[in-house]
């Protein structure tokens, strides 16, 4: 350990660097963080180990150590619940909502970041405030709108994937716009002004200069939008039917039944979690910067 240059000041005891905490602090830190990590990882541990256990291990008393390992839950779950159908529905809904949300957010964020216009503050405030309202507030009316519009026009909105996509993309939109404004603001204005002077229209400047420079931010926003749609429960529980049921509702419905094959449901939970957790952890840096920008400022 390099001896601190300031050691003389604090007397003989001070042989550590100025920011090296004392042993008591380090011990407390180790204990606290270990306990917290255990609490955090406990469900992950249960999910992973249970998904590899034979049925008798999860039907009887809990066992820390499985009596045997098996991959059967990963194959059986496809027959226990219509997992393939749920998966396809979730992929279509979350995928489409993500693409649409990102495109719309890019336009809106560009307008706010690069243009001066009346009502800008009102727009940002309105969009952000929708984020704060509980979903239950507009669940009932939205449900009625979809039912009634469907009756009036003959288009089956209620229960359709389209209605769910429309709803989900507005969930991620406020935060996506907010995050992208931050990213676009950090792209120097001179660059797109130069591009505009060079003959690109304002949209040319957006797609040739601003968007390429903000790719990490846009990918982070896409991951956020996907996570939002992939994990949504409330609206999916009301606005889907047997044919359009998503993973969230399908698995929830099965898990609250009486006799549950817990090893299989754990296998399914693990499989549907891996893509979003991996995406989040890979883009952690950008997502964290975007998520925290608003609060820290």
Q: Which of residues 118-177 bind another protein (CB under 8 A)?
A: 118, 120-121, 123-124, 126-127, 130, 132-142, 144-145, 147-148, 151, 166-167, 169-170, 173-174, 177
261: burial class by Cβ within 10 Å (0-12, 13-18, 19+)?
buried
Per-residue DSSP letter, 168? H
How long a stretch of residues is the chain? 297
How far apart are alpha carbons 89 and 164 in whole angstroms?
10
The nearer residue to another protein, 70 or 219, going by C-beta atoms, is 219
The nearer residue to another protein, 4 or 70, going by C-beta atoms, is 4
Per CB under 8 A, which of residues 245..274 are in contact with another protein? 247-248, 251-252, 255-256, 260, 262, 265-266, 269-270, 272-273
Angle at 213 between CA 212 and CA 218, to 5 degrees: 75
By CB under 8 A, name the one of 102, 157, 187, 239 that touches another protein.
187
The nearer residue to another protein, 167 or 240, going by C-beta atoms, is 167
Say if CB 177 and CB 108 are below 8 A apart.
yes
Residue 29 in the binding site for another protein (CB under 8 A):
yes
Residue 213 in the binding site for another protein (CB under 8 A):
yes
| Residue 7: CB minimum distance to another protein, A | 11
By CB under 8 A, name the one of 1, 65, 84, 197 that touches another protein.
197
| Residue 71: CB minimum distance to another protein, A | 19
Per CB under 8 A, which of residues 79..118 are in contact with another protein? 104-105, 107-108, 110-113, 115-118
Helix (H) or strand (E) holding 55: helix 55-59
80: burial class by Cβ within 10 Å (0-12, 13-18, 19+)?
middle
How far apart are alpha carbons 84 and 111 in whole angstroms?
41
Contact window for another protein (CB under 8 A) among 67-75, 76-84, 280-288: 280-288
Residue 43 in the binding site for another protein (CB under 8 A):
yes
Could you please report the per-residue DSSP string of 196-210? HHTT--HHHHIIIII
């Amino acid at each position: 350990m390099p001896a601190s240059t300031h050691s003389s000041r604090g007397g003989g005891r001070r042989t550590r660097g100025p920011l090296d905490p004392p042993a008591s602090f380090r011990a407390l830190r180790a204990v606290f963080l270990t306990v917290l990590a255990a609490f955090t990882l406990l469900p992950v541990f249960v999910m992973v180990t249970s998904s590899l256990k034979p049925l008798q291990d999860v039907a009887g008393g809990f066992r820390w150590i499985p009596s045997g390992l098996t991959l059967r839950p990963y194959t059986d779950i496809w027959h226990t619940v219509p997992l393939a159908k749920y998966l396809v529905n979730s992929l279509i809904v979350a995928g489409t909502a993500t693409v649409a949300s990102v495109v719309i957010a890019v336009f809106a964020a560009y307008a706010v970041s690069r243009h001066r216009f009346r009502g800008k503050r009102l727009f940002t405030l309105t969009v952000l405030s929708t984020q704060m309202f509980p979903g239950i507030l507009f669940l009932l009316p939205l449900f009625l709108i979809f039912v009634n519009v469907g009756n009036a026009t003959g288009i089956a909105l209620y229960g359709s994937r389209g209605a769910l996509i429309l709803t989900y993309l507005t969930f991620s939109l406020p935060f996506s716009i907010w995050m992208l404004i931050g990213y676009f603001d950090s792209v120097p204005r001179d660059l797109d002004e130069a591009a505009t002077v060079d003959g690109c229209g304002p949209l040319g400047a957006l797609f040739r200069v601003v968007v390429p420079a903000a790719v990490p931010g846009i990918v982070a926003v896409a991951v956020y939008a996907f996570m939002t749609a992939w994990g949504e429960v409330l609206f999916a529980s009301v606005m889907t039917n047997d044919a359009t049921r998503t993973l969230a509702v399908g698995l929830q419905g099965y898990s609250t039944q009486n006799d549950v094959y817990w090893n299989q449901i754990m296998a399914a939970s693990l499989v549907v979690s891996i893509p979003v957790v991996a995406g989040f952890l890979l883009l952690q840096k950008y997502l964290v910067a975007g998520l925290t920008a608003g609060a820290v400022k």
